[in-house]
Structure 1
């Protein structure tokens, strides 16, 4: 039987990609090149520049909440505490109920972006601007990715404004 290459890639991707509520993960191919990340964040006037600089490259660790290893929801929780002195819930599920749901076109720096990576797994990051968000990647640690990357666009769920 002959399968189309695109169907095979989609099928394989479905098995490989998951979100931070899963114990074993691999990350979607959505990162900016290191030099592009550095240029983007250096040019940014965002209050998230300093925290990103200190967290960039921190390895992903399911259940981790320190610079020795962090998962996506703990990263978001720690960034909000560092930048806004505001405590957010620890889990992606609880974070996804905060604030007000808004359209992606209305997203501003600091809004939370959520993804449904499998039927039950979720992933969260912090919107920066111009379709960029920072998050704890399972394969590359804390990075900046683009929302219009085909993978992230395909699993995008919602944006929530916490403030």
Structure 2
């Protein structure tokens, strides 16, 4: 059976859409992070520790729109956001895709999660999502619906799609 160029192109586009970094709805107002509390943390002039650097990184990228395959302030996807953070903050190179990032570092039990660990989600058939665990059950990530934001792990959507936590040293 021969495939036309159009059929091949449709197949390639379908594969990209099925493997794209995806984010779910942020509709639960009771499951949101206290942004005023985070903004207070962000007002520090000079980072005193690594965790402060991660908050400053968030402040720089906050509300950057989502763009599949993006890697700039004009648009970023979840794995690009994580890759850039590792390069700028930790001077480490990690893979570009969420799938490959999900094999970096060491798996961590949910109860042992710490600030800066990577949290992974299975958000659809063959679709993964990644972000940085912060504290108080929150994580920062590039959401496909709202850009770079902070969400709660215990919101219904993220709790249902949670997959694993990994620590990269």
- Common fold: TM-score over 0.5: yes
The TM tier, using the shorter chain, reads 0.7 to 0.9
CA distance in 1, matches of 2:112, 2:58: 23
The match for 1:27 is 24
- For the structure 1 residues 162 and 26, does the alpha-carbon distance in structure 2 shift closer, same or farther, using more than 3 Å as the test? closer
User: What SS does the aligned partner of 1:63 have?
Assistant: coil
The match for 1:48 is 54
- Structure 2 length-normalised TM: 0.77
- Displacement of 1:119 in angstroms is 2.1
Structure 2: gaps (5+ residues):
1-16, 43-48
In the TM superposition, 1:90-101 aligns within 5 A as: 90-101=96-107
CA distance in 2, matches of 1:104, 1:29: 22
CA distance in 2, matches of 1:156, 1:38: 26
The match for 2:4 is none
- Displacement of 1:104 in angstroms is 1.2
Structure with higher Rg: it is 2
- Displacement of 1:35 in angstroms is 8.4
CA distance in 2, matches of 1:152, 1:20: 19
- Displacement of 1:103 in angstroms is 0.9
Structure 1: gaps (5+ residues):
1-18
Asked whether the equivalents of residues 110 and 127 of structure 1 are also in contact (C-alpha less than 8 Å), the reply is yes
- Structure 1 length-normalised TM: 0.79
2:138 to 129, 132, 149: 132
